[in-house]
Amino acid sequence: MMQWFAGGQRCLRVVSTLTALILFNALLGNFALADTGPDVAYRAFPLVGSRVAVWVAAQLHLLFAAFVLAVPLFALIIEFIGYKTGDKRYDKLAYEFVKLLSVSFSFTASFGAALTFLLIILYPKFTTYLMYVFKPTFAPYVILLFLEGIFLYSYYYGWGKFKPKTHLFLGLGLNLVGTSIMLIANAWLTFMTSPGGITESGELISTWAAVKNYTWMPINIHRIIANVCFGGSVAAAYAAFKFLQAKTDEERAHYDWMGYIGNFVAIIAFLPLPFAGYWLAKEIYAFNQTLGVTMMGGAFSWLFIIQAVMIGNLFLSANFYLWLGMGRVEGGEKYQRYVKYLVVVIVTCILIWATPRSLISTAKEMQLMGGAFHPMLGYLGVMSAKNTAVNILILSTFLSFLFYRRCGKEATVSWAKLGNLAQALIMATAACIVLFFGIYGYFVEAAVRIKFSVPQVLSVLTAMISVSAIDYFLFRGARTKPIRWGNMPIISQYTLFFLAVTFTWLMGLMGYVRSGLRLHWHVYGIMPDTSPDAFTPTLGFATQVVSVTVLIFFCFISFIFWLASLSGKQNFDGSTAEH
């Protein structure tokens, strides 16, 4: 088996190198194309049509790219923790995360190549235009891709072979290169939504201005955070997969821990995500009111209701996982009694968060309400209510985590009572500030109200940081009962799967919003889409494409999970594998 596996890996490496080469050639080929000018603007893709073909390829490429970018980010952090504390477990864990990378990297390159081909073949005129505007960015992109390969494979194969510091440095390089690649790719696609650096007829003025268009930075930030979130959740799903497969308690304990860490990473990254989203939306409004209204008021606003429902599910399941985790520690039951209050607060916030502004209603219901806005529920649909709800949700999730951390711990410091009191006061103050601005927001005009989100977020952030700091000192040298890792009901592992699938699905959905927003434009306001696919598909169709893409992604990722799990298996001749 092992030989086959090693052979398979070699084979994959060859494939990935080849695809990288082909990609390189394709890009070079396009410089030539740009000079001669192609004579057709569009070609049709059989069966599903060009749009769906490019859509699926782009989404799959993005999902794998996100994974390949995110995993090194937190693997490096975990490795660093291992290095600092000298705890070998962390090092092993980081390596286990990184094991998922090499095949994913090949898939990313393959899907990237597929996407490039599809674009060149199906949308030659548009692709040529993008090449024209972004010509200078392709050489660095390709060079960075090679560097990424070099760093990634030396980071992976060099595990335990280099001095720790050298190895950490490789990881750092990998992250820097990966992020730079993403920044370049983001420039291309944000340019399509909010073009800059060109004249009204599309003549290039400055490539740099085209790169740093209105939505570039917001997308960069949003994507980095979302990637970590997604990477963490997929890695947690891997751990869940291994947990369910595990035969011994020892294995179960290890994978329970790994799932916990992956999920922890995902949730931490998830908390600031709504704010990054607000910033992005604000920049889209700032660039063009029509785009803003299409997104938040027009056809796409229904997708945000689906998004709100999914985010509600994410919060609830993340908390659910933490509450289940209290069962890992003897004496954890003590904190279970708070769960009912947390449920009430969290569900209430989710209900507010998911209340649409204009409601789907029958003609009779509309007559009763006097429009599509409900006279009472309408108050829950506006920004003030949403911001308040999401901030309180974040605070309660943080509280669940604090309770979880406390399970089986007894503080021994002399100021324990005082510390607890201070923490409670800080949390309560933050909640009050959030509520105050939330309610006050109804009595002021929009321009002022928008600014209120800043003190709300800041008070929540301050509370989380200061309470964590107190917690750290409070429980130094505390009497602790051991955590019985692996002592988790099976449903917790399915929760991890659910979280991973939901994150992935949300990425697909919101990616569609970002891209579909342009309506019948390739480059908004500059280059119209005159292909037969230029219409906006129905919401039902769009969600189906997203779902199918997510399904394909999980088929591929399951294959990667399976490959990664082979390395722990015995060789067919009975000797054990060296990894």
Judged by CB under 8 A, the chain residues 300 through 329 that form the site for another protein are 301-302, 309, 312-313, 316-317, 319-320, 323-324, 326-327
Is the CB of 99 or the CB of 374 nearer to another protein?
A: 374
Pick one of 87, 249, 330, 333: the residue that binds another protein (CB under 8 A): 333
Is the CB of 145 or the CB of 211 nearer to another protein?
A: 211
Residue 319 CA to its chain's centroid (Å): 18
Q: Which two tokens stand for residue 409?
A: 């711990």
Helix H or strand E encompassing 386 = helix 383-406
> What is the amino acid identity at position 358?
S
Residues 6+ apart with CB under 8 A from 213: 187, 190, 191, 194, 195, 196, 197
Is the CB of 233 or the CB of 294 nearer to another protein?
A: 294
Distance CA(310)–CA(229), nearest Å, equals 15
| Residue closest to 549 by CA, chosen among 17, 57, 32 | 57
Pick one of 270, 373, 403, 475: the residue that binds another protein (CB under 8 A): 373
Q: Is the dihedral of CA 443, 444, 449, 455 positive or negative?
A: negative
Q: Which stretch binds another protein (CB under 8 A): 1-9, 337-345, 413-421, 562-570?
A: 337-345
Is the CB of 40 or the CB of 363 nearer to another protein?
A: 363
| Residue closest to 226 by CA, chosen among 166, 189, 268 | 268
Is the CB of 141 or the CB of 278 nearer to another protein?
A: 278
Closest separation between CB of residue 438 and another protein, Å? 14
210 contributes a contact to another protein by CB under 8 A = no
Residues in 4-23 that interact with another protein by CB under 8 A: none
Closest separation between CB of residue 23 and another protein, Å? 34
Any idea what DSSP says for residue 42? -
Residue 84 CA to its chain's centroid (Å): 28
Pick one of 107, 134, 214, 498: the residue that binds another protein (CB under 8 A): 214
Is the CB of 362 or the CB of 575 nearer to another protein?
A: 362
Any idea what DSSP says for residue 329? B
Q: Which stretch binds another protein (CB under 8 A): 94-102, 134-142, 364-372, 501-509?
A: 364-372
> What is the amino acid identity at position 498?
F
Pick one of 286, 425, 439, 469: the residue that binds another protein (CB under 8 A): 286
> What is the amino acid identity at position 458?
L
Any idea what DSSP says for residue 441? G
Is the CB of 84 or the CB of 340 nearer to another protein?
A: 340
Distance CA(524)–CA(288), nearest Å, equals 10
Closest separation between CB of residue 328 and another protein, Å? 11
Closest separation between CB of residue 297 and another protein, Å? 4
On the 0-12 / 13-18 / 19+ scale of CB atoms within 10 A, 530 is exposed
Residues in 81-140 that interact with another protein by CB under 8 A: none
Any idea what the Cα angle at residue 106 is, between residues 105 and 109, rounded to 5°?
90
Q: Which stretch binds another protein (CB under 8 A): 98-106, 234-242, 259-267, 285-293?
A: 285-293
Is the CB of 22 or the CB of 316 nearer to another protein?
A: 316
339 contributes a contact to another protein by CB under 8 A = yes
Residue pair 549/508 in contact (Cβ under 8 Å)? The answer is yes
Which residues partner with 523 through β-bridges?
527
Any idea what DSSP says for residue 535? S
Per the listing, tokens 């599910």 go with 313
Q: Which stretch binds another protein (CB under 8 A): 27-35, 166-174, 369-377, 543-551?
A: 369-377
Any idea what DSSP says for residue 486? T
Binding mask 344-363 for another protein (x = CB under 8 A): x-xx--xx--xxxxxxxxxx
Is the CB of 63 or the CB of 407 nearer to another protein?
A: 407
Binding mask 429-468 for another protein (x = CB under 8 A): -------------x--xxx---------------------
Q: Residues in contact with another protein, total (CB under 8 A)?
A: 71
334 contributes a contact to another protein by CB under 8 A = no
| Residue closest to 158 by CA, chosen among 170, 149, 140 | 170
| H helices present in 37-157, as ranges | 50-85, 88-99, 101-122, 124-157
Closest separation between CB of residue 444 and another protein, Å? 10
Is the CB of 32 or the CB of 376 nearer to another protein?
A: 376
Instruction: Give the DSSP per-residue string, 249-286.
Output: HHHHHHHHHHHHHHHHHHHHHHTTHHHHHHHHHHHHHH
Residues in 461-500 that interact with another protein by CB under 8 A: 489, 491
Pick one of 49, 202, 381, 528: the residue that binds another protein (CB under 8 A): 381
Distance CA(233)–CA(276), nearest Å, equals 19
Closest separation between CB of residue 196 and another protein, Å? 9
Pick one of 139, 140, 282, 490: the residue that binds another protein (CB under 8 A): 282
Q: Which two tokens stand for residue 67?
A: 């994974």
| Residue closest to 130 by CA, chosen among 55, 213, 204 | 204
